[in-house]
């Protein structure tokens, strides 16, 4: 057994910091890598050592395998943790790490490639008796074939990137006339996100719920699942709010899906942490969607309800330890919800916002967990994902968890960029979410692009008066406050 | 005190030593402390913390998770803005600007082309997402100022319509 002493975290922001915290708790050392613009971010100075990747574009920094391996050798680490996104599901990276004589904290490269190719994963899942969404088992080769396949499956269809994940390169197509332009757009997105433009077509399931199972597997064939996470509240096919347990599963279906998830992991001889994603249609049938061969963004809600530190388990498994618990020993307690706080303008199609965070105050208190990667003064730049933090809460019941989330969201203060907080508030207050009856159509069906009321709070007038008193010249002692909309579509200035 | 306010409403006020005088009444408060982005005030028996950001004439406050932005303008500034707005609408000219920094992936129109409302003009990639910039109305493309591969700044002019 190769005991790990020092780990390079090949990632940035909140996830780099979250991983380094566990590394420190385990008495190990951490190494950060950072791009030029990231030098002032908290994860860089949290690490025991930090190395500049020089540059800002992802391809020159967090996606640059050569630079990362060089720094790993230079800093004398035993292992590399890839986090999520960037190179976390890149089999070539995992191979390069292993070839450099280091431990890759994640699955074997073979499992990454077989699950990373979504069409290969579908074939494998089918073979192991896991139900799959009807559709193509191989990527699109030409447009005529795509037209034929889409006709055969029946519109609406979903175009997905074979190398995909995170909703990138994914498009819903409702008719033949939209097919070609969407395939080319999906290919473009897939190429820039994954360096692979292969896409395939599957049946678009209407009103689906998106439910995934957390898997932990050691290198000796022991596999357990840590139950589900419901991830149906999405915009642009990307999750914003997640919860566990899901209100959609009966105990029998939950057990069945858990077993199917374990079989999917078995199919690719999986080791380390992974997530098996399913969609459930409105009749309650579940289908395998894909397996994410990495730590998931929303992993905190599983940690809150099981008490298991997933990063610690990942490191233990990677250094050859056996799982220290069996399926029966996994105890799940209470209810957890996560809200992702992104820099986005929720009143303008959730477009990413950029800028400097001028002021930040995070919520706290009993049952509140904040996985944050930024502080006041940090910039949300155009180079990377606009995530500010993940806010998770735990309570004994679902109702209490919703109330706790509402309270925590109210405590959150972010100045400088627009955030998803108003949307998260809306979700917590909405009847479909409160009743537990919702699907991935939540945003399309319920979210108003304009708020119901835009009552300007008194605070705005007080702030304006303080600003005026502290500097601005006042003409005739009389000022006018004009209410200016923040939700007018600013793209079009007529 | 101003009651319920809507977008575009104009509220006149005067400052006094212990509060704000509106045409409709007075908001009394005691300023306890003020730092760059934070104000502490006492209103009756409640101590309130106000988080704000001031940028030129704009003042933003965060209240219950929502960012509200108001513009503080003098009478002269309001007149000037209204004049600019009305002269722009006479020419019926629109400028399509980048809503965020990013890279132009595709330009779907050429100068002189007629477009309908909702038609894609430019595809802009930012944060790994392709965003379709659409026409706000039926129009004719007057000028195309970018081409595929260009890196653009927020608010940079992409296309002008007439």
Nearest by CB to residue A492, choosing from B67, B72, B94, is B94
- What is the distance between the alpha carbons of residues A438 and A234, in angstroms, rounded to a whole number? 11
Q: What Cα–Cα distance (Å) separates residue A35 from each residue in A7, A54, A454, B50, B152?
A: 18, 6, 40, 35, 21
**What residues have CB less than 8 Å from B52, skipping those under 6 apart?**
A415, A459, A460, A463, A466, A467, B37, B38, B39, B59, B60, B61, B62
Facing B133 at nearest CB: one of A418, A419, A491? A491
pLDDT at residue B62, rounded to an integer? 86
Whether residues B72 and A385 touch (CB distance < 8 A) is answered with no
pLDDT of A94 higher than 60: yes
Closest by Cβ to B70, choosing from A453, A470, A481: A481
Contact B48, B34 (CB under 8 A): no
Q: What are phi and psi of B92, to 5 degrees?
A: 50, 60
Q: In Å, how far is B58's CA from the nearest CA of chain A? A: 9
Tell me which of A185 and A14 has the higher pLDDT.
Answer: A14
Q: With 0-12 CB in 10 A as exposed, 13-18 as middle and 19+ as buried, what is B72?
A: buried
A218, A159 contact by CB (below 8 A) = no
Measured distance CA(A3)–CA(A202) in Å, rounded: 44
What's the token pair of residue B120? 């894609």
Are B115 and B96 contacting, i.e. CB atoms less than 8 angstroms apart? no
For A186, other C-beta atoms within 10 Å of its C-beta total: 26
Taking contacts as CB-CB distances below 8 angstroms, the residues of chain A near B78 are 480, 482
A50-67, pLDDT tens digit by residue? 999 999 999 999 999 999
Query: From the CA of B78, how many Å to the nearest CA of chain A?
Result: 9
User: What pLDDT is attached to residue A494?
Assistant: 26
- Smallest Cα distance from B147 to chain A, Å: 16
Closest CA of chain B from A167, distance in Å: 9
Tokens matching residue A144:
């005529």
- For residue B63, give the 3-state DSSP assignment: strand
- The whole-angstrom separation of Cα A398 and Cα A245 is 9
Structure token digits, residue A290: 């894909």
pLDDT at A155 over 60: yes
Q: Do the Cβ atoms of A475 and B75 come within 8 Å?
A: yes
Instruction: Give the model's confidence band at A88: pLDDT under 50 very low, under 70 low, under 90 confident, else very high.
Output: very high
- pTM for the predicted model, two decimal places: 0.84
Contacts of B74 in chain A (CB under 8 A): 475, 479-480
Instruction: Give DSSP secondary structure letters for A263-283.
Output: HHHHHTT--EEEEEEEEE-TT
- Residue pair A491/B38 in contact (Cβ under 8 Å)? The answer is no
Domain boundaries along the sequence of chain A: 6-105, 134-203, 209-446, 458-493
The whole-angstrom separation of Cα B80 and Cα B74 is: 10
The backbone torsions φ and ψ at residue A63, rounded to the nearest 5 degrees and listed phi first, read -105, 5
Which chain B residues have a beta carbon less than 8 Å from that of A385? Answer: 127-128
Mean pLDDT rounded to a whole number for chain B:
82
Active-site residue flag, A407: no
Q: Which option is the CATH number for A6-105: 3.40.47.10, 2.115.10.20, 2.40.170.20, 3.40.50.20?
A: 3.40.50.20
* Cα–Cα distances in angstroms (integers) from residue A270 to residues A108, A229, A295, in the given order: 7, 20, 13
Burial A93-124 (b: 16+ CB within 10 A, else e): bbbbbeeeebbbbbbbbebbbbbbbbbbbbeb
For the cut 60, the answer to whether the pLDDT of residue A89 exceeds it is yes
Per-residue pLDDT reduced to its tens digit, A306-315: 999 999 999 9
Give the per-residue pLDDT at A257: 97
Candidate from A351, A382, A490 with C-beta closest to B131: A351
Question: What's the CATH architecture for A134-203?
Answer: 2-Layer Sandwich (3.30)
Give percent of chain B with pLDDT exceeding 90.
22
Q: Are A419 and A391 in contact (CB under 8 A)?
A: no
Q: How far is CA A493 from CA B94, B137, B145, in A?
A: 6, 12, 17
- Give the distance, in angstroms, between the CA of residue B70 and the centroid of all CA atoms in the same chain: 9
Average pLDDT over residues A464-483: 61
- What pLDDT is stored for residue B13 in this prediction? 79
How confident is residue B93, by pLDDT bands cut at 50, 70 and 90? Answer: low
- Return the higher-pLDDT residue of A450 and A158: A158
Cβ of B101 and A354 within 8 Å? yes
Distance CA(A139)–CA(A342), nearest Å, equals 32
pLDDT > 50? residue B32: yes
Length of chain B: 162
Q: What is the pLDDT of residue A117?
A: 86
Is the interface score ipTM higher than 0.85? no
Considering chain A, what percentage of its residues have pLDDT values greater than 90? Answer: 77
State residue A411's pLDDT score: 93
Question: For the residues of A210-257, what is the DSSP string, one character each?
Answer: EEEEEEEE-TTS-EEEEEEEEEEEEETTEEEEEEES-TT--HHHHHHH
pLDDT tens digits along A250-277: 999 999 999 999 999 999 999 999 999 9
| Interface probe, candidates A186, A462, A490, chain B, greatest B C-beta count within 10 A | A462
B 92-121 → A contacts, CB under 8 A: 94-97, 99-102, 105-106
CATH number, domain A209-446: 3.30.470.20
Contacts of A188 in chain B (CB under 8 A): 105-106, 130
| pLDDT at res. A188 | 87
pLDDT band at A476 (very low <50, low <70, confident <90, very high): very low
Kindly report the average pLDDT of chain A as a whole number: 91
């Amino acid at each position: 057994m190769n005991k790990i002493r020092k780990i390079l975290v090949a990632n940035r922001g909140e996830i780099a910091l979250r991983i380094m915290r566990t590394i420190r708790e385990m008495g190990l050392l951490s190494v950060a890598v950072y791009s030029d613009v990231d030098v002032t971010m908290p994860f860089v100075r949290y690490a025991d050592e930090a190395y500049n990747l020089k540059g800002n574009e992802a391809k020159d920094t967090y996606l640059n395998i050569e630079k990362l391996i060089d720094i790993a050798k230079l800093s004398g680490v035993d292992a590399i943790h890839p986090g999520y996104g960037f190179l976390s599901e890149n089999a070539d990276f995992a191979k390069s790490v292993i070839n450099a004589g280091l431990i890759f904290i994640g699955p074997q490269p073979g499992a990454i490639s077989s699950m990373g190719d979504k069409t290969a994963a579908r074939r494998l899942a089918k073979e192991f008796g896991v139900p799959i969404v009807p559709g193509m088992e191989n990527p699109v080769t030409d447009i005529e074939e795509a037209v034929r396949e889409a006709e055969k499956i029946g519109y609406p269809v979903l175009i997905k990137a074979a190398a995909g994940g995170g909703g990138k390169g994914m498009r819903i197509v409702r008719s033949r006339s939209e097919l070609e332009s969407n395939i080319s757009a999906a290919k473009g997105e897939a190429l820039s996100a994954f360096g692979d433009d292969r896409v395939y077509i599957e049946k678009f399931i209407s009103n689906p719920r998106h439910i995934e199972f957390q898997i932990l597997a050691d290198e000796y064939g022991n596999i357990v699942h840590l139950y589900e996470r419901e991830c149906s509240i999405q915009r642009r096919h990307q999750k914003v709010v997640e919860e566990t347990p899901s209100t959609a599963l009966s105990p029998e279906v939950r057990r069945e899906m858990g077993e199917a998830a374990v079989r999917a992991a078995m199919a690719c001889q999986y080791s380390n942490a992974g997530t098996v994603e399913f969609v459930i249609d409105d009749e309650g049938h579940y289908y395998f969607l894909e397996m994410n061969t990495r730590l998931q963004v929303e992993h905190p809600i599983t940690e809150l309800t099981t008490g298991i530190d997933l990063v610690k388990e990942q490191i233990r498994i990677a250094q050859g330890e056996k799982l220290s618990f069996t399926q029966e020993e996994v105890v799940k307690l209470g209810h957890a919800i996560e809200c992702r706080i992104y820099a986005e303008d929720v009143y303008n199609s959730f477009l990413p916002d950029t800028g400097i965070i001028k002021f930040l105050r995070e919520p706290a208190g009993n049952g509140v967990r904040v996985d944050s990667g930024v502080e006041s003064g940090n910039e949300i730049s155009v180079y990377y994902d606009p995530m500010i933090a993940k806010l998770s809460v735990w309570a004994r019941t679902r109702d209490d968890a919703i109330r706790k989330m509402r309270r925590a969201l109210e405590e959150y203060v972010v100045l400088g960029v627009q955030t998803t907080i108003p949307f998260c508030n809306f979700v917590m207050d909405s009847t479909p979410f409160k009743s537990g009856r919702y699907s991935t159509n939540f945003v399309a069906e319920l979210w108003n692009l304009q708020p119901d009321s835009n009552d300007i709070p008194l605070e705005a007038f007080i702030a304006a008066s303080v600003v005026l008193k502290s500097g601005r010249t006042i003409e005739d002692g009389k000022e006018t406050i004009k209410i200016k909309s923040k939700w007018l579509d600013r793209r079009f200035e007529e | 005190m101003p009651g319920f306010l809507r977008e575009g409403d104009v509220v006149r006020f005067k400052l006094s030593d212990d509060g704000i005088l509106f045409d409709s009444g007075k908001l009394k408060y005691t300023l306890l402390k003020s730092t760059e982005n934070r104000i502490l005030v006492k209103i009756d028996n409640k101590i309130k913390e106000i988080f704000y950001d001031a940028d030129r004439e704009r003042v933003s406050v965060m209240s219950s998770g929502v960012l509200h932005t108001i513009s503080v303008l003098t009478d002269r500034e309001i007149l000037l803005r209204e004049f600019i707005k009305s002269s722009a609408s006479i020419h019926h000219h629109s400028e399509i600007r980048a809503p965020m920094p990013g890279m132009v992936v595709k330009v779907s129109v050429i100068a002189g082309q007629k477009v309908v409302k909702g038609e894609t003009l430019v595809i802009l990639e930012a944060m790994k997402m392709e965003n379709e910039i659409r026409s706000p109305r039926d129009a004719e493309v007057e000028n195309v100022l970018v081409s595929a591969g260009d890196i653009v700044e927020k608010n940079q002019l992409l296309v002008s319509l007439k």
